[in-house]
A and B are shown apart, each in its own frame.
Chain A
Amino acid sequence: AQKITQTQPGMFVQEKEAVTLDCTYDTSDPSYGLFWYKQPSSGEMIFLIYQGSYDQQNATEGRYSLNFQKARKSANLVISASQLGDSAMYFCAMREGITGGGNKLTFGTGTQLKVEL
């Protein structure tokens, strides 16, 4: 079974509108972390936001927020006031549990976002 599922291969949004990128995850570990990364066409991987499984509040970083619904096992990324520079591939990733094992991330297949005028 896929540990991270991103069901939207591509999305369009109008400039200045908000957009939600979906991510669902599968784990039986009570301790885990969820991450979102952005990959522009230039190829670099840029960290956006992190949510820990025990965090009580949804994470926010500037125009990025993570809509964390633990019972539904979803961790959707919300980008407010989209800008042309937000056009990129977005990856959701998960780290499962245990210390001593390194921070091994499992990535989803990504969502290609295009912001239009």
Chain B
Amino acid sequence: DAGITQSPRHKVTETGTPVTLRCHQTENHRYMYWYRQDPGHGLRLIHYSYGVKDTDKGEVSDGYSVSRSKTEDFLLTLESATSSQTSVYFCAISPLEDREQFFGPGTRLTVL
């Protein structure tokens, strides 16, 4: 299994508070991704990174920011959490640009 961890695995927070989710990999893969999963929508890409300090927006990036200062870590930040950001968040990594991605275990975030 690809070495991907996500922290925290579960979090409950209140509307308006900042939240940071961490994705850590031990595979030295270049590409990293953040998705959210909601019922009826499958997985949707939030942001992705194609190298240290290189990031770009995905399909549902509003309200989210990311940072990647090291190859192994990709952080997702909700500057001011809203109830619509209640979701399961998955991090994924891939060594190649055009092949399969390997997913972390997910983080369940609840915004009250």
Contacts and interface: CB of A to CB of B under 8 A. Distances in A.
Contacts of B112: none
Main secondary structure of the interface of B (DSSP, over half): strand
A93 to B, nearest CB: 8
Contacts of B43: 45, 91, 93, 105, 107
B58 interface: yes
Given A44-B106, A91-B42, A102 B56 contact: yes
A108 B42 contact: yes
Interface residues of A, number: 26
Most chain B CB atoms below 10 A, which of A50, A104, A110:
A104
Contacts of B49: 102
Contacts of B90: 45
Contact of A105 (B40, B45, B102): B45
Contact of B99 (A44, A50, A99): A50
A103 B97 contact: yes
A88 to B, nearest CB: 14
A109 interface: yes
